[in-house]
Amino acid sequence: MSESKIDNDAGQPNAIYGFKANLRQTRSEVELRIDKVEKLNWDFSITPKRLIFGILMLLAIILSTFFFIIADLKRALYLAPSIIMLDIGIIILIVLYIFTFPAFGSLLSITVNLFKHLVNSRQVKKGKKPRSKATGFASTRKDGLIRYVDGYVARLFYVDGKTSKTAYPAEVLQQEIIASRYHNNRNRGTAEIIITSSQKQNTDRQSESLRALHETNDNDAIKDYINLNKRYIDEKIQGERTTFIQYLLMISQDEKTLDDSIDTLFASTAEGLYYNVKAFNKKETDQLLSEIKGLK
């Protein structure tokens, strides 16, 4: 994403506004939605790369089968049914390779993983294989630093997003510039993983703030208004409304690289990349890791 492309007089965001993609993806790896399939409530998508490979493989199989059969018609009488059935199975595998789920990968990889899981689960139930309890994590350091058994280190952060749903195009454009500058300057040796959690809203802070306002005011009308707000929060929001919380996991091979990447993150946050970024302490880190499946 070049500066010359972003800096336009109309102040309009780029054409891909609203489409989330990995900034380091090539055009052939970008997932394309299929409108006709989505109408059937199937969240399938394709990538140009997989589509081209799939078409080439289909052509190779169909042509090779065709020439193999017509080369000897007597042989075709005996082998054609078996070869056609084999080709149908291979074509199904190719179709599973072409179509992908944006969140889970290709249908082929999902099928393979499911088969592996079923086999592994069966072996565990029969006692032929011990249940795996390995998480890949060593103990968390006192300052909240996550240590992996292979020597990698990481830190967790609370992330408060910047762009609003009602943002103007000029605001979205400015956000794109800041995000582009951050990703161009950040250390590629540090992996960044965004974890999104959906949970019921907790209004303890708002309730405490309203309670303090109530105690410091003498005006009865203001107190009634504060009580009205508190009652609404307690009855309609606390534990009722859903909120989304984002966490950022930064992983590096060594602590120095990680610290440099964190400095870049906070510098970009000061420029407006996020509203706020807060590092986890040891207790918060251990609690979140324990809530992730497989780490309990």
Mean pLDDT of 81-95: 89
Task: Give 14's pLDDT tier (boundaries 50, 70, 90).
Answer: very low
Residue 140: in which H helix or E strand, if any?
none
What pLDDT score does 296 carry?
A: 43
Task: Select from 178, 187, 190, 121 the least CA-distant residue to 154.
Answer: 190
Q: Which of these, 142, 230, 167, 129, lies nearest to 13 by C-alpha position?
A: 167
pTM for this model (two decimals) = 0.49
Across the range 233-239, mean pLDDT stands at 73
Q: What are phi and psi of 57, to 5 degrees?
A: -65, -40
Distance CA 279, CA 146 (A): 12
Amino acid 8 reads N
CB 287 within 8 A of CB 245: no
Distance CA 292, CA 156 (A): 13
Q: What is the rounded average pLDDT of the residues 138-153?
A: 88
